[in-house]
Amino acid sequence: MDSGIPKRKMACHSPDVREARHHQRETNQTMNDVVRFTIPADFISSRIALTTEELVCGYRKGWLSPAALAELAGDLSADLPDLPAEEELLYLLPSEIEEKVRTAVLARDDVDCADPEIGKVWGYLALARLNERRDTISGFWDVIAMIWSDLGYPDEMEPFIYHMPPPPGEEFGEPAMLRRLESYLADRTRWYRARGGSSPE
């Protein structure tokens, strides 16, 4: 599935870069589960209108709480045939609604959560959430490197991975990495908002 997002040219990596990736794989092999945190529904909806497949995988991968799942699923009820009618949901307690939505989402066993384009959506949202709260996060750049690992080491994230060399002609150091991270997020935010019709904040 082609996302339509402009892609960086594939780099021909030096032995040092390949070794850095190998080191990151070894470091993160047992740490990827630590990266998981839930992302609020309002944070997501301000940036992207999720497809049903993205919603399903976000819940399966642990990025969505049951409450956030229920809040975001409303606009996708046509693609969740096991979801009760809106009139029925009006008479349920919040916990019952969450359980109904969870069951309907998990029934979509036709969704391939290994799709790299779906992974990019949740990688973008996770990075955006982390960046918004970076002053309160210990090991900010380590967590970003673990997300990079979790997504399969995409080339487009390398410019802001702390142990990878910067793009040719660009600076080393955290201030430069932060500029590249925020440029990446701005590009994705514009594209996903245009794709899904979400209004700018």
In angstroms, the CA 47 to CA 185 distance is 11
- Angle of helix 140-150 versus helix 174-196 axis, rounded to 10: 50
* Length of the chain measured in residues: 201
In angstroms, the CA 193 to CA 175 distance is 27
**Domain extents in the chain:** 15-36+114-196, 41-106
pLDDT digits (tens, 9 = 90+) for 117-143: 899 999 999 999 999 988 888 889 999
Range of lowest pLDDT (79-83, 166-170, 191-195)? 79-83
pLDDT classification of 84: cutoffs 50, 70, 90: low
17-to-88, 150, 158, 162, 163 alpha-carbon distances in Å: 56, 18, 10, 12, 9
The average confidence (pLDDT) of the chain is 75
185's CB contacts (< 8 A; 6+ apart) are 124, 127, 128, 131
Q: What is the pLDDT of residue 5?
A: 43
pTM of structure: 0.72
